[in-house]
Amino acid sequence: MNSKLAFTWEKAKQLAEQIVFNNLQEHLKDIEIDVLRGSWEGLTYEKMAEQYHMSVSYLRGDVGYYLWRKLSEALGEEVTKSNFKGALERAGERQLPPHIDSNVKEPKSPLAELAFPDGSVPLGSPFYVNRDALESVCYETVLKPASLIRIKAPKLMGKTSLLTRILAHAESQNYQTVYLDLSSVERAILTNLDKFVLWLCFMVGRKLKLENRLKDYWETEILGSNDNCTVYFEEYLLPQINCPLVLGLDEVDRIFPYNQVVEDFFGMLRSWHEKGKISEQWKQLRLVIAHSTEVYIPLDMNQSPFNAGLPVTLLEFDHKQVLNLAHLHGLNWNDIQVKELMNIVGGHPYLLRLAMYKVYTTKATLKQLLQDASTEAGIYSSHLRWYLEMLHSEEAQGLKEALKKVVISLEPVELDSMQIYKLHSMGLVQQQDNQVMPRCNLYREYFRRVL
């Protein structure tokens, strides 16, 4: 009885995210978490559609269908909207350590609740590794009028972790902040400029807890999508908050493939940045955008935000940072052990943290872990399988053969520019001038075998 009372929404959410990532190597999307919470609260899809301003068919037929299918696969049993609570609670009873249900509070070290490294590093976590002076530069820049910060790095390299810290710093200065993750936006919105900027205006207003007044400002007969969006920010959103606003856009390369949207949208962002140089109103807006690769659609240099503002490129951790991270995990490693791990995974933040998490929590030896690393029995099997499935998907046409060339060659190889863009944004390769090589030996060994 006590365990049932203790099983809260927050624990259910955390457990669902962890189990899905552990088994499927993917994160739950924001809208999937919204549907999960709505289901937890007993809402029908109709009520959720009304609350989230989306169609019932989309929530039930797309989001709900894939959400319950993911949980079914991850939990190993049939999961539906009506039985997911019990399924998650049973999984929690199998996985959670005894102290979760204990009423006795015992002193715990920071490592006693070491979280699985399944995404961005939470604010306040001791496991966030500062990248020399990079954070300080970003913190100073975001406080400047009309500033623009561009964070670029492949997947799982720490973009979101840095982005959220920049927003948190701005909040500490009494700025308003809005974080939007474009990876969770449905394709029907991303491929239509008018729908996309309407979504942007609506979501920013909602995050700021402002009344939706789009109907009062949207003039479709005279103004285009960009002008309407600009007017809504200029005449309604910015004046309403009367303080600086930092807009953080994560995964903006999600719209790179859509020519009909990318040019106009990024042109609008650049125009906002330029307006801030002369307009007191637009000086209040600061932009932070994160993306995995360069935009591969040619943009007018005067209309692109990708040649303005502060460029921030996240590199892999160096030897000293990895050694420090190991010590934060309670591992008494020396230079030799750090070199052994980096020889397999390089300075890749996620791959490093996963190895350290496993060594600390399972007491496995680093030697055994590295021997199995590129096999189906290794700790990276789910991560590697996810990549393999991506390479076999229709969206990745031609990438499988391109990567095969890279992993079987001992020298950097030349590829088609689009293949380089896509493989680099996925985090599978690193560039050397106009050539590429595997990002780490783990990827070389695994894909040389399976491809």
**Other C-beta atoms lying within 10 Å of the C-beta of residue 149:** 23
Q: Which of 126-130, 156-160, 338-342, 417-421 has the highest mean pLDDT?
A: 338-342
Confidence of residue 372 (pLDDT cuts 50, 70, 90): very high
pLDDT in tens, 49-70: 887 777 777 778 778 887 888 8
pLDDT in tens, 215-247: 999 988 889 999 999 999 999 999 999 899 999
Core vs surface per residue 69-103: b (16+ CB within 10 A) or e: ebbeebbeeebebeebbebbbebbeeeeeeeeeee
User: What dihedral do alpha carbons 181, 182, 184, 189 form, nearest 10°?
Assistant: 140
Average pLDDT of span 24-45: 82
What residue spans define the domains of the chain? 2-106, 134-313, 382-450
- Residues in Cβ contact with 57 at an 8 Å cutoff, skipping those fewer than 6 apart: none
Q: Which CATH number is 382-450 given?
A: 1.10.10
Average pLDDT of span 169-196: 94
Q: In this structure, what DSSP letter does residue 205 have?
A: H
3-state secondary structure of 118: coil
Q: Which CATH number is 134-313 given?
A: 3.40.50.300
User: What single-letter amino acid sits at 192?
Assistant: N
Determine contact, residues 425/294, Cβ cutoff 8 Å.
no
Determine contact, residues 200/167, Cβ cutoff 8 Å.
no
Determine contact, residues 91/41, Cβ cutoff 8 Å.
no
* C-alpha–C-alpha distance, residues 273 and 265, integer Å: 13
Confidence of residue 301 (pLDDT cuts 50, 70, 90): low
Q: Which residue has the tokens 């060594």?
A: 359
Q: Give percent above pLDDT 70 in the chain.
A: 90
Determine contact, residues 449/381, Cβ cutoff 8 Å.
no
Order of strands, edge to edge, in the sheet holding 429-432?
Answer: 413-414, 435-438, 429-432
**CA nearest to 429, candidates 413, 255, 389:** 413
pLDDT: which is higher, 378 or 63:
378
Core vs surface per residue 214-253: b (16+ CB within 10 A) or e: eeebbeeeeeebbebbbebbbebbbeeeeebbbbbbbbbb
Average pLDDT, the chain: 86
pLDDT in tens, 265-281: 988 999 999 999 999 99
Q: In this structure, what DSSP letter does residue 308 have?
A: S
pLDDT: which is higher, 2 or 327:
327
**Other C-beta atoms lying within 10 Å of the C-beta of residue 337:** 18
